[in-house]
């Protein structure tokens, strides 16, 4: 453990597993206090215990990012307990199943739900937490995707919209010296991704990268650590690909 983020407070949505858990453990191991948010209560309890095992501290809150009332309630609870928030990681999102395959025939209700979770929710949460972020001159990290660069499914379209929101948020939050950036992962080896991608397809996708090893959640969390650090403090208004050079071969569905 180091104390690089000692005294810092970091909120991670979608923290019950996968990339969200990886972010929490990386920041916790460097002394941060974690505020975990997810719809999976049991997973958050596990993540909190893991954060404490590596030397951090953690609290957890249930929040459905498609529900504006729950987002506002989370914001109010955080503001009541914490004077400042150094980092907000908008990691929660939908990325497997119908959203990753669908385009035609989804209907308005599904499109609205996908956009609510993946695009609008991150803005609403950042807005609700703005006073605490402003006091810290904090950082917002939105989780985009390599699929946002040639969007061909509902998932890619919601993430392309989130890229636009990221640039607009960087502009709008700048008055309070709050930075906003996006991270666009490639296909990373997380439990959810492994469940959603056939084994043979993992090999095909890896062969399309310039870096031939499989990306992991730690690769993304390490980038988040850098962006939140003093060394990354002049980076703003960017969406950064972390995909092993997959873009060199063109994106695929």
Strands (E), the chain: 9-13, 33-38, 57-62, 87-90, 139-143, 179-185, 239-242
Domain ranges (residues) in the chain = 9-249
- Domain 9-249, CATH class in plain words: alpha beta
pLDDT in tens, 107-154: 999 999 999 999 999 999 999 999 999 999 999 999 999 999 989 999
H helices present in 86-129, as ranges:
98-101, 107-115, 121-128
At CA 123, angle to CA 121 and CA 124, rounded to 5?
A: 65
Strands 9-13 and 33-38: parallel
| Range from 165-169, 176-180, 215-219 carrying the lowest mean pLDDT | 215-219
Residue 214 is predicted with a pLDDT of 80
Q: Which residues pair with 183 in a beta bridge?
A: 143, 240
Residue 103 pLDDT greater than 70, yes or no: yes
Of the pLDDT bands very low, low, confident and very high (cuts 50, 70, 90), residue 81 is very high
Residue 99 pLDDT greater than 80, yes or no: yes
Residue 251 is predicted with a pLDDT of 46
Q: Is 23 designated active site?
A: no
Question: How far is Cα 17 from Cα 188, in angstroms, rounded to an integer?
Answer: 13
Residue 252 pLDDT greater than 50, yes or no: no
In this prediction, residues 162-187 reach a mean pLDDT of: 97
Question: How far is Cα 56 from Cα 66, in angstroms, rounded to an integer?
Answer: 29
pLDDT in tens, 40-70: 999 999 999 999 999 999 999 999 999 999 9
Residue 132 is predicted with a pLDDT of 98
Is residue 220 within 8 A of residue 19, CB to CB? The reply is yes
Nearest Cα to Cα of residue 2 among 55, 45, 72 = 55
Is residue 28 within 8 A of residue 56, CB to CB? The reply is yes
From 23, 114, 149, 155, active-site residue: 155
pLDDT in tens, 179-234: 999 999 988 777 666 666 677 666 777 677 777 778 899 999 999 999 999 999 99
Of the pLDDT bands very low, low, confident and very high (cuts 50, 70, 90), residue 96 is confident
């Amino acid at each position: 453990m180091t104390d690089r983020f000692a005294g810092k407070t970091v909120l991670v949505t979608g923290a019950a597993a996968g990339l969200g858990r990886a972010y929490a453990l990386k920041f916790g191991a460097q002394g941060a206090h974690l505020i975990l948010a997810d719809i999976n209560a049991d997973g958050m309890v596990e993540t909190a215990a893991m954060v404490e095992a590596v030397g951090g501290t953690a609290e957890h809150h249930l929040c459905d990012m498609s529900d504006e009332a729950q987002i506002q309630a989370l914001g109010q609870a955080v503001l009541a307990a914490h004077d400042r928030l150094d980092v907000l990681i908008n990691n929660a999102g939908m990325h497997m199943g119908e959203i990753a395959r669908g385009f035609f025939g989804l209907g308005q209700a599904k499109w609205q739900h996908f956009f609510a979770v993946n695009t609008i929710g991150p803005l609403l949460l950042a807005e609700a937490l703005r006073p605490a972020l402003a006091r810290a001159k904090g950082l917002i990290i939105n989780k985009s995707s390599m699929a946002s660069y040639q969007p061909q499914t509902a998932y890619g379209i919601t993430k392309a919209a989130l890229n636009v929101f990221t640039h607009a948020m960087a502009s709008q939050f700048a008055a309070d010296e709050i930075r906003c950036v996006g991270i666009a992962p490639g296909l990373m080896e997380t439990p959810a991704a492994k469940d959603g991608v056939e084994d043979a397809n993992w090999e095909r996708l890896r062969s399309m990268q310039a870096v031939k090893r499989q990306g992991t959640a730690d690769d993304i969390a390490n980038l988040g650590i850098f962006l939140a650090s003093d060394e990354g403090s002049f980076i703003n208004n960017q969406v950064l690909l972390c995909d092993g050079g997959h873009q060199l071969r063109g994106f695929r569905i």
